[in-house]
Chain A
Amino acid sequence: MTPPTPTLLRPEGTADVSRLLTGARAVAGGTDLLVQRRDGLEAPTLVDLTGLASTRPAATRDPGTGELRISAVHPLTDVAAGCAGAFPALSAAIEAFASTTIRNRATIGGNLVTGSPAADTVPALLAADAVVEIVTPDGGRRTVALADFLLGPRRVDLTAGEWVTSVRVPRPSPEGGFRKIGGRRAQAISFLNLAWQWCREPDGRLTDVRLAMGAVAPTVVRLHAAAAALEGRSPTPDVVDAAVAAVDADISPIDDLRASAHYRRRCAAGLLREALLPPSTSGGPDQHVIPTTREKDQ
């Protein structure tokens, strides 16, 4: 059981990665892989992708189509800054993600490839119909819809020698958000999470409604039935009730150490109901406000 001597390889540039990946695993922030390795995952040789971040921007926006291209190797902090408000659901997810120090390391690529049903950036990307851009061992590219990329718990459509370089997101809706429920307000694996985006028409109707939820099924899933119940309608109490009732159809939660399936179902309904509250009464985002000066009464 002697752990093999770990080796960290640093590619010179994108073209170098495929060569080094033979018999090795890609690592970026390492916030999940290194923990898994400590728990026994065998990955003696790692190829560090973080150096690639200096060769390109964290996110770019096509001025014509509005499509976002998000780097898979940049820290989430940089991704949020790079999106510059163009993708509110993802920005909200990043804000709720782990902690500042983790966000300064963790990447979209790592969060996708690790294949966790509870991954916090995935619902926003899935709701937005993101496409994963993969570099193949011969240096070529292939793309796969995120919905097809996610195969199951810890399973994604990525073969040996492949790595995720970026994620393309068709013009995200200007109105969107993310909420997670965890055992505490930072550094917690989600019991479940929800991302949403939609357009609010001048008459109050919601269109292009997309919802995705994590930790309620083997992969992050779209809430198609709930979205259909909302599509083209104003979120009146009846419409909201119908949408909330439809959440159950697309989820199949399990009991685990963090929460029961029953709670996940009840809370899934609650999360969608909360997201549909009029913005002025939603109680605001989950406020992670820390007093900057500590008041002492003495």
Chain B
Amino acid sequence: MTAPAPVAGRPAPWVGRSRPALEGHDIVTGAITYVTDRREEGMLHGHVLRSAVPHARIDAIDVSEALALPGVRAVVTAADVPVNALGPRAVDGPALADAVVRQVGEAIALIAATDATTAQRAADLIRLELTPLPVVDGPAAAAAAAAPQLHASGNVSGNIAFSSGDVEAAIAGAALVLRRSVHTPAQEHVAIETPGGVASWNAEEESVTIWCGSQNPGLHQRKVARALDIPAESVRMIANPVGGAFGSRNDDPMPVFLALLARAAGAPVHVHMTREEVMAAGAKRHPFWTSIDIGFAADGRILGSSVRAVADTGPIITSGPNVMKTSAEMSTGPYGFDVAAFDGTVYYTNNANAGAFRGYGVPQVAFAIENAITEAAHELGLDPAQIRLRNVLDRGDRHSLYRHRTTTSLNVRETLRTAVDHPLWAQRHRWQAEATGPWRRGTGIAVAMKGVGMGSGTGDTARARLSIDDHGQITIWAGPNHTGQSIQTTYGQVAADALGLPIDTIDVRVGDTGAVPESGPTAASRSTYAGGAAVRAACDELVERCRGLGLPLATDAAGVGTKLIELGEAEVNAEFRLPDTDDIGIVPPEQLATFAPHRVYGTCTQVVRVEVNALTGEVRVPELLCVLDCGTPINPAATIGQAEGGILQGLGLAIMEDHRVSEGVPRTTSLENYLVPTIADTPRMHTLFVEGSEDSGPFGAKGMSEVVVVPTPPAITAAIRDAVGVLPQVLPVTPERMLALIEESPCA
């Protein structure tokens, strides 16, 4: 670890020291006011009328009875929305369905009333005349020649293809060629707080303030401004505190709904979605059908790999093609080899909309490649860790698909070595031998890599604003926003060490477009890395300014603050532009942003123990090791928390989570039939950090919050392979799927 050593005369460093979340006490005591807890004087309650059918033409909407119901203050339909769009393109979808509904749960009308029950009754009084249309129930149906076209541009939402050579030629003489197909399901985020909040319209100024969770307050500000046809400066998003996101607050239309209702009603309006609404209408992780052709030399070296992926993004684009872009880059895993190809297509369907979800297209393709490597190890008689060590990228190596230069902080090899030395892996044979009865034991290993930030050519930038007052108090407005991970706690640690000031003299504010400079999304594992670097830059600028003026910031912050105010120099603005790769390899320069290869990657190796019941197909996961290459963990406890949470989402994807839709109708409609891991399903988890430092990150930090999800499913399937000799290719591995595999296996 590269946490700074104590320096005489300076406060003990905060970077590298675990610090509880600043709002932790308020969370556990219930004192915190989440955005959905907010109450305003004269506040109305909103309700969203949603489609119950997956695809239909809207012939008429009659809201007269709903409007006549006592207590109803506003009913908003598509006709009432100034610019009925969630984005600049038709495929971004309308704010409210106008001519057609394309998904169960799609919003058709918004109602505000004096109480929530009245708003719901009003929704029941809205008369809809719908003509059913044929349902596009998956990518195959979308691609069919006679398929109904869901958009003027067709049913293909996006395609990304790239090749660094002739894969078939490269694997023609391979000792082993595997051609495999895997499937990963739609997954629900299950953020504890469901979307909602409050909006308040100021009629005089024609402006709106919205308290609603968001991973990208600036983007939501622009979306609201577009829909209401008002200047962006007239929209203020206050986007926390919020109870979790995991990607779900990237594409969420709720801020737009709140603003539309508040303006129509002329009063503050509160909306809070039910879990059932989220299950139907909220974006999911993209379900993928992924195929891989991969060839190995006898010693386990990868000779070439070609990955093809198909994803279902539902009726509107949300993050579809961007997710596939990330899949493309990570389709070669953390491995270095000479020839690779990728071809991925995203389709529109009438299924649940899919959007951003922690891991963003990587868990899907990583499952294909890691499963193939697990199988290759068995086929070639190689140790599953050794075959990976034989292939992993080293610091600064060229990426297998784009041939661009990776960061020198890339430390996959060390995560693998650390994992291999851990008792969980070293003692796997003994543990397996101690199995009793129908419970067979196995240990699996998998490794993953994911880019940090939006990638080369995208101009990805985070910003921070800092001011000092005459008491020496520092205020920092910075982004990306807090969405549950308490990023402001981490920013405070960076600032305290950069300024050399006591941490309790530093107040960090995030998530308010009225004060925080545009910093992009809480996404792409970029918050600590990019936001932290922007905070660091602002702090360094202040320190430098003081040095230039001969002001003793560390010993007399109050005096320095007073002096800087006099000089008009008490505020600092800084930004951090994420560095592009310094060699873009074979990516055409004009298409750099299209493929957006990364310079900086976080990596992770996981070792997992599973027990499989050979009589019932149950899979238990008692223990798991996570070894992280994240540079400097600025707040180790928070980093471990991120790792453990990510592992559980990966575990859910691996063995139980499956958002099921048939004929366009969601079948998993609540948390009674959509299962996520409980504490009883939670393995004993060990998280280790490998030494490392990312030069471009704040105090050597880089991102890690998504990569931790990625190795869990393939490590679990590898462990299942070790336990019962069959390698599942379809997730989740339910007891039913597991028992079928065992019974179909020739060794059964």
Report which A residues bind B (CB closer than 8 A).
Answer: 1-3, 35, 99, 181, 183-189, 191, 257-260, 263, 266-267, 269-271, 273-274, 277, 281-284, 288, 290-291, 295-298
Contact = CB atoms under 8 A, between A and B. Distances in A.
B636 A298 contact: yes
B684 A267 contact: no
A-B pairs with lowest CB-CB distance, top 9? A283-B437, A270-B615, A186-B680, A263-B736, A185-B680, A183-B675, A283-B439, A186-B678, A283-B436
A141 B375 CA distance: 65
Interface string B162-188: 000000000000000000000000000
A295 B687 CA distance: 10
Contacts of A296: 640, 687
Contact-residue size bin, chain B (C-beta under 8 Å from the other chain): 35 or more
Given A1-B120, A184-B677, A263-B740, 17 more contacts: A3-B117, A181-B616, A183-B735, A184-B676, A191-B736, A257-B668, A266-B743, A270-B617, A271-B615, A282-B438, A283-B613, A290-B680, A290-B682, A296-B640, A297-B687, A297-B688, A298-B688
Contact of B735 (A263, A282, A295): A263
B117 A271 contact: no
A3 B438 CA distance: 50
A296 B685 CA distance: 8
24 contacts: A1-B124, A3-B117, A183-B735, A184-B656, A185-B620, A185-B678, A185-B680, A257-B667, A257-B668, A257-B673, A263-B735, A267-B615, A267-B617, A270-B616, A271-B616, A274-B438, A274-B615, A277-B438, A282-B437, A283-B437, A283-B613, A296-B640, A297-B688, A298-B633
A18 to B, nearest CB: 33
Interface of B: 18, 117, 120-121, 124, 435-439, 613, 615-618, 620, 633, 636, 640, 656, 660, 667-668, 672-673, 675-682, 684, 686-689, 734-736, 739-740, 743
B637 to A, nearest CB: 8
Contacts of A298: 18, 633, 636, 640, 687-689
- Most chain B beta-carbon contacts within 10 A, residue among A270, A271, A274, A284: A270
A277 B437 CA distance: 7
B679 A273 contact: no
A257 B665 CA distance: 13
A290 to B, nearest CB: 6
A298 B439 CA distance: 32
Given A2-B121, A283-B437, A288 B680 contact: yes
Contacts of B117: 2-3
Contacts of B739: 263, 266-267, 270
A184 B678 contact: yes
A290 B437 contact: no
Contacts of A185: 620, 678, 680-681
A269 B687 CA distance: 40
A291 B673 CA distance: 27
B673 A267 contact: no
Given A185-B620, A284-B436, A295 B677 contact: no
Contacts of B686: 295, 297
Contacts of B617: 263, 267, 270
A185 B656 CA distance: 11
Contact of B675 (A35, A188, A281): A188
B735 A181 contact: yes
A150 to B, nearest CB: 22
A69 to B, nearest CB: 31
Contacts of A260: 736
Nearest to B655: A184
Contacts of B435: 283
Nearest to A183: B675
A183 B619 CA distance: 10
- Most chain A beta-carbon contacts within 10 A, residue among B120, B640, B680, B686: B680
Contacts of B438: 270, 273-274, 277, 282-283
Nearest to A188: B675
Contacts of A271: 615-616
B689 A282 contact: no
Contacts of B743: 266
Given A260-B736, A263-B739, A284-B436, A181 B618 contact: yes
Contacts of B675: 183-184, 188
Contacts of A99: 678, 680
A183 B734 contact: yes
A211 B740 CA distance: 25
- Most chain B beta-carbon contacts within 10 A, residue among A184, A188, A189, A281: A184
A282 B680 contact: no
B618 to A, nearest CB: 6
B635 to A, nearest CB: 11
Contacts of A186: 678-681
B640 to A, nearest CB: 7
A282 B436 contact: yes
A192 to B, nearest CB: 9
B82 to A, nearest CB: 32
A155 B13 CA distance: 66
Given A183-B656, A185-B680, A267-B617, A274 B437 contact: yes
Nearest to B669: A257
